Amino acid sequence: MKKYVCEFIGTAVLVLFGCGSAAIAGTTLGTLGIALAFGLSIVAMAYVIGEISGCHVNPAVSLAMLIDKRMTLKDFVGYVIAQVLGAIAGIGILYAIMASAELDLTVLGANGFGEASSVGLNMVGALLVEVVLTFVFVYTVLGVTADKNKSSVAGIVIGLTLAFVHIMGIPLTGTSVNPARSLAPALFLGGEALKQVWVFIVAPLVGAAIAAVVYRFLNKKVKE
């Protein structure tokens, strides 16, 4: 149960500060600032909950760990439930803060394509972008967490990797690479955000699965 509680807290923090930075101060922070908000959230949580749950805070990461046989199916289901609930809690807190400040509640850091994309990226492009970005992120997570000797720097590496995929992805889709992070704001916003959210659930899971398969084929062969 401690693992699930940690995943709940970690995902809530990621979504609150990541999406919150985009929704409240996005025009001031810009792409780099928002990317760092997501990345630093992971760094902070990794050194608090990493030893307990591994700090997945992302169903895509958990799926890769399941495929790589680092977690059981039971834990995978528990992690995903905790992550989704944590993301919803994070957006709920953000919504309450923004409502109390009378800020625009139609902007909660949701992902999107077409008119919701800063560059007008279409659906196919959004699918491709999210698969590729998630592959890079999850492949890095798998590699840096496989060696216990790297545990002291794993949180920093993962956080920086999340930040750099956001730098490219924010103008395109807002960057998901995390189904829970995308689902929560879509549920609160409804409308077009909810209609499009399937892309940001499916694509990260596909990208994570590919990363896990490639990691098992390439990296584990090298170690053997």
pLDDT of residue 223: 56
Please give the structure tokens belonging to residue 211: 């990363």
pLDDT of residue 194: 97
pLDDT in tens, the chain (224 residues): 899 999 999 999 999 999 999 999 888 899 999 999 999 999 999 999 999 998 999 999 999 999 999 999 999 999 999 999 999 999 999 999 999 998 989 889 999 999 999 999 999 999 999 999 999 999 999 999 988 887 889 999 999 999 999 999 999 999 999 999 999 999 999 999 999 999 999 999 999 999 999 999 998 765 55
Residues recorded for the chain:
224
C-alpha to C-alpha distance for 202 and 45, rounded to whole angstroms: 25
**Cβ proximity of 21 and 34 under 8 Å:** yes
Total domains, the chain? 1
What's the domain range around 158?
A: 2-223
Here the CATH number for the domain that contains residue 129 is 1.20.1080.10
Instruction: Match 């309450």 to its residue by tokens.
Output: 96
pLDDT of residue 106: 87
SS3 of 83-135: the string is HHHHHHHHHHHHHHHHHHCCCCCCCCCCCCCHHHCCCCCCHHHHHHHHHHHHH
